[in-house]
Copies of this chain bind each other. A is one copy, B any other.
Amino acid sequence: MESMSYTTRSSSSSRKLLFRQLFEKESSTYTYLLADASHPDKPALLVDPVDRTVDRDLSIVNDLGLKLIYAINTHVHADHVTGSGLIKTKVPGVKSIISKASNASADILVEAGDKIQFGDLYLEVRATPGHTVGCVSYVTGDEPDQPQPRMAFTGDALLIRGCGRTDFQGGSSKQLYESVHSQARLYTLIFTLPKDTFIYPAHDYKGFTVSTVGEEMLYNPRLTQDEETFKSIMENLKLPYPKMIDAAVPANMVCGLQDLESKAA
């Protein structure tokens, strides 16, 4: 069993990934801060920032002397308003990023195979649709000068011992299964990443902070099933209507800036 460890985090590179995981309690959302700490500018990005924790996120960026360049979303969230737009109003020059397939607006629209560079480090974009039609995962590079083990920011596609629902926003249990399992399409699959790849999801509701590809391949109660069983599970979840979807989705289609007044203080 591959598992999170300190000593395997060494790299032949002199590059330093600065990494922080941040939690928003109301929506149980994880926001991730990554920066190239070896680069003179310390360029940084935030993955899945939440509107109500923007000030916290910018305070740590400031304390650590980082230059925030990107605010990135894995998908159009239905349970919280993204902080991307608010960050752009507070830190001039930051560019918002989301997938082209999401049909949302942002400064940069990415597709599978694109690279998001920050200093000498980068994230590659993998299409992982199924929770929504435009879901992508962001994965650190596999060259020896990139962080080892690799890290996958999977949004709601793959959660720790779970996955996102597939009944709204162009969701499809068949697509989600393929996004996680398929070995056929480059830049799509999650389970073909090295087993020691860290899984950093957009949410966790039980207090787990990280998993690995190897762990989820063994213990994910939904995605270890065959495809038909998985589809049956997803079709019978009987989840309530997402309570924030009608407010959050329209706002998140425009980086969270549709209705500034509706934001929580």
Interface residues of A (CB under 8 A from B): 1, 3-11, 13-25, 28, 31, 37, 53, 56, 60, 63-65, 147-148, 206-210, 215, 218-219
Nearest chain B residue, comparing its CB with the CB of A145: B7
CA distance A258 to B143 in the complex (A): 54
- A7 pairs with B4, CB closer than 8 A: no
- B60 pairs with A208, CB closer than 8 A: yes
CA distance A3 to B18 in the complex (A): 7
Interface centre among A1, A4, A16, A209, by most B CB within 10 Å?
Answer: A4
- A10 pairs with B7, CB closer than 8 A: yes
Tell me how far the C-beta of A111 lies from the nearest C-beta in chain B, rounded to whole angstroms.
27
Residues of B within 8 A of A63 (CB): 1, 215, 218-219
CA distance A21 to B19 in the complex (A): 14
- A8 pairs with B4, CB closer than 8 A: no
How many copies of this chain?
2
Residues of B within 8 A of A3 (CB): 18, 37, 64
- B5 pairs with A6, CB closer than 8 A: no
- A209 pairs with B7, CB closer than 8 A: no
CA distance A64 to B63 in the complex (A): 35
- A7 pairs with B17, CB closer than 8 A: yes
10 further contact pairs, Cβ within 8 A, besides A6-B16, A7-B10, A56-B207 = A1-B65, A7-B11, A7-B13, A9-B10, A10-B10, A20-B209, A20-B210, A21-B209, A24-B207, A63-B218
- A207 pairs with B23, CB closer than 8 A: yes
CA distance A252 to B101 in the complex (A): 53
- A7 pairs with B1, CB closer than 8 A: no
- B219 pairs with A22, CB closer than 8 A: no
CA distance A14 to B8 in the complex (A): 9
Of the candidates B5, B22, B24, B147, the one whose C-beta lies within 8 Å of that of A18 is: B5
Residues of B within 8 A of A64 (CB): 1, 3, 215
- A14 pairs with B23, CB closer than 8 A: no
CA distance A3 to B17 in the complex (A): 9
Tell me how far the C-beta of A37 lies from the nearest C-beta in chain B, rounded to whole angstroms.
6
Nearest chain B residue, comparing its CB with the CB of A204: B23
Tell me how far the C-beta of A26 lies from the nearest C-beta in chain B, rounded to whole angstroms.
10
Residues of B within 8 A of A207 (CB): 22-25, 31, 53, 56
- A23 pairs with B147, CB closer than 8 A: no
